[in-house]
Amino acid sequence: MKASNATSQDLIIVGNGMVGHHLVEQLIERGAHRHYRIRVFGEERHLAYDRVHLSEYFSGRDADDLALSTADYYAEHGIELHLHEAVTDIDRDARELVTPQGRYAYDRLVLATGSYPFVPPIPGGDRDGCLVYRTLDDLDAIREAARSATTGVVVGGGLLGLEAANALRGLDLDTAVVEFAPRLMPMQVDNEGGELLREKIEALGVQVLTDRATQHIEDGDTSRHRMVFQDDKRLETDLIVFSAGIRPRDELARNAGLEMGERGGVVIDDRCLTSDPAILAVGEVALWQGSIFGLVAPGYQMAKAAADTLCGGELTFEGADMSTKLKLLGVDVGAIGDAHGDRSPGARQFRYVDQIKQEYRKLVVSSDGKKLLGAMLVGDNATYDTLMQYYANGLELPADPASLILPSVEGAPALGPDALPETAWICSCHNVTKGAICEAIDAGCNDLGAVKGATKASTGCGGCAALLKSVVDSELEARGVEVDQSICEHFAHTRQALYSIVRVEGIKTFGELIEKHGHGLGCDICKPAVASILASCFNEPITDAAHVPLQDTNDTFMANMQKNGTYSVVPRIPGGEITPSKLRVLGEVGEKYGLYTKITGGQRVDLFGARLEQLPDIWAELIEAGFETGHAYGKATRTVKSCVGSTWCRYGVQDSVGMAIHLENRYKGLRSPHKLKFAVSGCTRECAEAQSKDVGVIATEHGWNLYVCGNGGMRPRHAELFATDLDDGTLIRYIDRFLMFYVRTADRLQRTSVWRENLEGGLDYLKEVVIDDSLGLGDELERQMQTVIDNYECEWAGALSDPEKLKRFRSFVNDERPDPDIIVTEERGQLRPA
């Protein structure tokens, strides 16, 4: 065939893997599709897909999810796509490509044929059920074979082998990994790291056999195959996957007479040209300075250089860093630069091993200790990004390099994004530097998404996502596009600033605050936030006329609105202790008003389905029986959960119920940036689950241990031990100070856990403020808490005694009939919304 357009040249790309596709993108980016008539040949049925995440094919991602592009994208740019069409020959004399379907003329040709899995020449290695792990079709074959299998073996304990093992686990096979070398991942880790990796992988139920050379494979007794090793040991299995390395797919080049490496691979120069300047090669088929690069990032860099070469540019491939950050079978493994330290004469090492948490970190540094030459991580890659920056940018190490790999302690040096030079690599898949990100921002990208779109950073393996975000945030801030800290459009202040204004100026109403410090009517953000601040400072009844329009509906009606517009009612039951007769009243009220009744997680009783106009009657009966409001509707103290403690329990060492009741009665009615949950356990068995609460108290032989800033819910966080063996008075004093300091400094709707994580200086700082009184605030915080306690009144009791307030509890001002749209049905003997 001849090009239809005489002015355009024919460009053919052989191979549509990740690198082949990246080349297409690079060409389009440079407008090459307007000068070249481009044809792409792929041997597989599928358009280029994400091979890095191939094992996810067995955990929910299908071929479409893994696809890197669409046929439409190719069509839109006039690129002819020949999938499922294997190229059989290159006729260099005629400059034609040969496939079973025909011959295609080329002016320029790019080989992106990649590699194939190496299957060691083992007798029996070609038996049915001996498979490889490389393509989606391979995965389909593995899946098919796994249907009649219960066990599987992966031959090869390197990166791809462990990926394959993960895939077999995903198919519910009992999985084993057989490695020829004495350890797993011999390229990336040393013996010590390899041993830890083995332990971690074995803990996942994967059998690991190292130092095993398979001699032959034969029929098994109990399984389909029997593998026989060098020492005559045997292993029976139903399925075998070879993943013992890759070899370049270089047969086309070899047959065409291009210069080849001794052990395969098409020789290329810095511009990705082969020995025939009409032909280029990229990716795993290409041999550059004697090396094949088996990772996607160098492949992408070759694709970029090749695209530039084809467009007459000067960009060259200058080798690539083989540093990798992986998560294999859920285990973090990272290797940077000269991770083994065997390529750098005079290099010194730092090693950190934690055999309990199973973490291993090693630094290889220059003899003067100033430069990072390499690093090895097993079990935790948290430090990878920082170490990579030191390595890639030749930054001078901190005075004590060991601090970079020691367990994170407060004050460990952090490498902030602003400390990185312009040349710092952020995304190695797409070769994006900090400078490129800054350019994108200067060109008008003013959020993370726009920067990702413009630079492609973090769209490859995604490993740099956190780093990219911190760089973008930092650069945006530096350009004054700072994240607006204003609470909303009506106040140009943070919650903390509004809190200070209210306190310092003694402002007691929202009207006064917005008149002096804001504008407009306010909104559903600032009104409840200010209501909360006013309540924390002065604790006036929220149902007062000045405050009631600020409240969320739950606070307004002192009950929790449910999805059908009815409310639930939760009376306070301090410490979860209740007399039988009071419990009976709850039952009677629930029955009388037809309320769905459920026990809460906080040791209370929740009564659902009350209509607005029923709430006062319900509460009149509850208050008559001695109940108080439970503030389940408020950003306020909720409950203090407790175990039964020393009163009854043979293990208890303190009266946990007594302490819980004392705490609940002390802090009830305290409004705060978010809800507050407490618990008290009577001994170290911790039956009250205090370590999941904002404030947790656990009894000891000598007093109480105090834990703070725990959380259950969406993002669970263990509370941290704050102080030990406290007497009652000190415990209360610390809690007073802690809570008021939180109320004073947290953002709106920020739980203590998130507040603590954002608190500069962390737990140590919090201890200094509360225990050592480093800010001299102790007395003031205690006084403020006392004000809240002194002004406590049961909001429901207050509302019931005020006819003006009760007027609000009408579903309709002109009709006493209930809302006809509230329809209920019966389920398990109770009423629920229909």
Site string for other proteins, 630-669 (x = CB under 8 A): ----------------------------------------
Q: Which of 312, 545, 650, 776 binds other proteins (CB under 8 A)?
A: 545
Question: Which of 67-75, 265-273, 318-326, 522-530 is the region at the interface with other proteins (rule: CB under 8 A)?
Answer: 522-530
Nearer to other proteins among residue 704 and residue 809 (C-beta): 809
Q: Does 823 bind other proteins (CB under 8 A)?
A: no
For position 549 contacting other proteins by CB under 8 A, the verdict is yes
Nearest residue (CB) to other proteins, 423 versus 553 = 553
The stretch near other proteins (CB under 8 A) out of 66-74, 429-437, 524-532, 736-744 is 524-532
Strands (E), 701-755: 703-708, 720-726
Contact criterion met (CB below 8 Å) for 452 and 415: no
Nearer to other proteins, 817 or 828 (CB): 817
For the chain, give me the number of helices (H) and strands (E)? 25, 38
Minimum Å gap between C-beta 566 and other proteins is: 8
Question: Does 523 appear as a known binding residue?
Answer: no
If one asks whether residue 527 binds other proteins (CB under 8 A), the answer comes out as yes
Nearer to other proteins, 430 or 805 (CB): 805
Residue among 7, 814, 825, 829 that touches other proteins (CB under 8 A): 814
Alpha-carbon distance values, 386 to 229, 337, 424 (Å) = 43, 14, 11
Q: Does 713 bind other proteins (CB under 8 A)?
A: no
Stretch that binds other proteins, among 347-355, 376-384, 519-527, 672-680 (CB under 8 A): 519-527
CB of 570 to other proteins, least distance (A): 18
What is the residue whose two structure tokens read 């993943």? 243
Site residues for other proteins, window 187-216 (CB under 8 A)? none
- How far apart CA 384 and CA 54 sit, in angstroms, is 23
| DSSP letters spanning 308-328 | HHHTT-----------EEEEE
Note whether 269 binds other proteins by CB under 8 A.
Answer: no
3-state secondary structure labels for all residues of 94-126 = CCEEEECCEEEECCEEEECCCEEECCCCCCCCC
Please check if 427 is assigned to a binding site.
no
Instruction: Say how many residues touch other proteins, by CB under 8 A.
Output: 35
Task: Please give the single-letter amino acid code of residue 252.
Answer: L
Separation between Cα atoms, residue 197 and residue 552, nearest integer Å = 52
Least CB distance from residue 639 to other proteins, whole Å? 24
Q: Which of residues 764-793 bind other proteins (CB under 8 A)?
A: none
Contact between 616 and other proteins by CB under 8 A: the answer reads no
Window of 280-288, 442-450, 628-636, 806-814 that interacts with other proteins by CB under 8 A: 806-814
Q: How far is the CB of 41 from other proteins (least distance, A)?
A: 47
Residue 519: CB minimum distance to other proteins, A:
9
Rounded to the nearest 5 degrees, what angle is found at the Cα of 279, between the Cα atoms of 274 and 285?
A: 60
**H-helix segments, 771-819:** 778-790, 795-800, 803-806
Segment lying near other proteins (by CB under 8 A), choices 151-159, 247-255, 271-279, 561-569: 561-569
- Measured in whole angstroms, the distance separating CA 567 from the mean position of its chain's CA atoms is 36
Give the type of residue at 179: E
Which residue from 564, 646, 745, 830 is in contact with other proteins, where contact means CB under 8 A? 564
User: Helix, strand, coil % (nearest 5) of the chain?
Assistant: 35, 20, 45
Q: Tell me whether residue 205 is exposed, middle or buried, using C-beta atoms within 10 angstroms of its C-beta: 0 to 12, 13 to 18, 19 or more.
A: exposed
For the bound state, the minimum distance from the C-beta of residue 605 to other proteins, rounded and expressed in Å, comes to 24
Choices 360-368, 376-384, 498-506, 525-533; region in contact with other proteins by CB under 8 A: 525-533
Strands (E), 232-354: 234-237, 239-242, 246-248, 266-268, 279-281, 286-288, 324-328, 331-337, 348-354
Q: Does 548 bind other proteins (CB under 8 A)?
A: yes
In the block, tokens 């001078």 appear at 396
Question: Of 712, 727, 812, 826, which one interacts with other proteins (CB under 8 A)?
Answer: 812
Check whether 709 is labelled as a binding-site residue: no
CA torsion angle 698 634 778 734 (round to 10): 0
Asked if 299 and 293 touch (Cβ cutoff 8 Å), the reply is yes
Of the candidates 792, 796, 794, the one whose C-alpha atom is nearest the C-alpha of residue 610 is: 796
Interface map 487-516 toward other proteins (x if CB under 8 A): --xx--------------------------
Q: What size, in residues, is the chain? A: 834
Rg (CA), the chain: 34
**Least separation in angstroms between CB 619 and other proteins:** 18
Q: Is 438 annotated among the ligand-binding residues? A: no
Annotate 274-300 with b (16+ C-beta within 10 A) or e (fewer).
bebeebbbbbbbbbbeeebbbbbbbbb
Cβ closer to other proteins: 434 or 671? 671
**Closest distance to other proteins from the beta carbon of 822 (Å):** 8
Residue 524, classified by CB atoms within 10 Å of its CB into exposed (0-12), middle (13-18) or buried (19+), is exposed
Annotated binding site: 643, 649, 683, 687
Contacts with other proteins, residue ranges (CB under 8 A): 489-490, 520-524, 526-528, 545, 548-554, 556-557, 561, 563-565, 807-808, 810-815, 817, 819, 821
Annotated binding site for [4Fe-4S] cluster: 643, 649, 683, 687
Annotated binding site for siroheme: 687
